[in-house]
Amino acid sequence: MSKKHAGGQQKEANVAVVIMAAGKGTRLKSRKPKVLHEVGGRTLLSHVIAAASGVVDAKQIFTIVGHEAERVQNAVAEFGTRFVEQPEQRGTGHAIQTALKSITDYENVLVLSGDVPLIRTETIEQLWRFHQKEDAAMTILTAAPENPNGYGRVVRRRAGSAEVESIVEDEALTSAQRSIKEINSGIYAFKTSALEQYLGGLKANNARGELYLTDMAGVLRAAGERVVAVQAEDAAEVLGANTLAELAALDARMRATTANRLMAAGVTIFRPDTCVIDAGVEVEADAIIEPFVQLLGRTKIGAETRVRSFSVIENCTVGERVIIRQSCVLADSSVGDGADIGPFARLRPGSEIGEDVHIGNFVEVKKSKLHAGVKAGHLAYLGDSEIGAGTNIGAGVITCNYDGVHKHATRIGKGVFVGSDSTLVAPIAIDDGAYIGAGSCITKDVPAGALAVGRGRQVTKEGWAEARRARRKAQEQG
């Protein structure tokens, strides 16, 4: 049974997803919970939840938390999933025992690991469809990596059979079994009724004294229940990481996949191996990404836009036909079509750059709206401002938006000319068509069409420099 959501996507209704994310990950030698380490710009757990969200609604996803539970919950709160707390971590079997009472309304449950970020929605669906087709009590997602050493092997009842005889841990393999390439991924589908009936039969008869969900295969087989396996198409999807080096390898793999996806969609990326592109980034066809660019978070880049080397863009929406020149830093901002940014420009959070705006070298914009055609070519700071269409901001202009306690706004109208090296002391309004003389300190509002000059009158004393040099020479000789 499935239900249709807005947008036409079918999501399953009679299955829950349980994600195991309670462990410490001590082998990473980090104080951070393992599932909160990042690859591809998102936490390990976020990737898994995102993949599961393509199969079921968020409210059907139950994340088991334990170590630093509150921190983990806060990190993925945006997804709107449910949480089950496992205060004492006594193994994967114990984790599912803890979650069981929360999922009894569902006929089936998919069990995922919170530290396998490469898992795809399509693979979770593959597991779910096979589980339904085989009408099994337990379905195991397997993989066949080139090097299976260290992983438990899946022993099938006979060659070509879907049914599983047993799962044998690596250290317990016989010489004949060691030739088996198929491994247990730790990802499963269960009938909920089978868990309710048999999960209590797990025994902690191992060196760590824990309850292992892997052992359910043997428990169910002994009870005459059907246990089957289906192999993932790509073994890399089920890879986890126990060291920071392994995390880095997963990150590289994910970013390479992202770059290849974008290039297949018509994006030119020069030297993709040098670029850092997060998994959630969207780039339209005919955009060009030069070497050593970072595109982070939820950034979106429009068609025919060019991002030049060493620029860093995070959580920004950039329009079409934009040029982001070398070494620009943009964060939490938007850039309209045809804009020209940089080089060495900075857009701080809350900046709205309109169409055909020019932001030049060493210009910093913060929480400001620049309407179409504004030009700020050199060495300016524009903070807490709104600047009307066609206005020109001269070199060295700054908006003095902070009085030591509060921030204040600057409003500049359309077609204004602000001369170089002017300071605009907020709160202040400069109306349409006004001129500000170079070097002015403007502290009062300027009406439309007016000229405002706020600087000391120039005084020229002829012969002063020559007289001064003569006095110094006389002092030195005396």
Answer whether 400's CB lies under 8 Å from 419's CB: no
d(CA 458, CA 462): 13
The kind and range of the H/E element at 167 are: strand 164-168
8-29 core/surface letters (b: 16 or more CB in 10 A; e: else) = eeebbeebbbbbbbbbebeebe
253: pLDDT strictly greater than 80: yes
More confident: 206 or 302: 302
297: pLDDT strictly greater than 80: yes
Place of tokens 């779910």: 128
Maximum pairwise Cα distance, the chain: 115
Q: What is the pLDDT of residue 1?
A: 43
Place of tokens 């300016």: 380
d(CA 334, CA 233): 39
- Per-residue pLDDT tens for 1-23? 455 444 445 788 789 999 999 98
- Per-residue pLDDT tens for 340-369? 999 999 999 999 999 999 999 999 999 999
Strands (E), 413-477: 417-418, 423-425, 428-430, 435-436, 441-442, 451-452
Average pLDDT value over all residues in the chain: 93
User: Among 30-34, 132-136, 258-262, 328-332, where is mean pLDDT lowest?
Assistant: 30-34
Q: What is the pLDDT of residue 132?
A: 95
Q: Which of 67, 378, 406, 408 is catalytic?
A: 378
Average pLDDT of 50-59? Answer: 95
Average pLDDT of 287-316? Answer: 98
Answer whether 387's CB lies under 8 Å from 371's CB: yes
d(CA 56, CA 18): 11
Q: What is the pLDDT of residue 9?
A: 57
Answer whether 84's CB lies under 8 Å from 62's CB: yes
Count CB atoms within 10 A of the CB of residue 152.
21
Answer whether 242's CB lies under 8 Å from 151's CB: no
Q: Quick one: what percent of the chain has pLDDT higher than 70?
A: 98
Place of tokens 């020019």: 358
Confidence of residue 448 (pLDDT cuts 50, 70, 90): very high
d(CA 455, CA 288): 46
- Per-residue pLDDT tens for 69-96? 999 999 999 999 999 999 888 889 999 9
Can you say whether residue 80 is alpha, beta or left, with left for phi > 0 and alpha for psi between -120 and 50 degrees?
left
- Per-residue pLDDT tens for 115-165? 999 999 999 999 999 999 999 999 999 999 988 888 889 999 888 889 998
277: helix, coil or strand?
Answer: strand
375: pLDDT strictly greater than 60: yes
d(CA 86, CA 449): 69
- Our CA angle for 299, 301, 304, nearest 5°, is 170
Q: What is the pLDDT of residue 456?
A: 86
Average pLDDT of 212-222? Answer: 92
Average pLDDT of 270-289? Answer: 97
303: pLDDT strictly greater than 90: yes
| Structure token pair of residue 41 | 């710009």
Q: Quick one: what percent of the chain has pLDDT higher than 90?
A: 82
Strands (E), 51-163: 61-65, 82-85, 108-113, 138-143, 153-156
Is 378 one of the annotated active-site residues of the chain?
yes
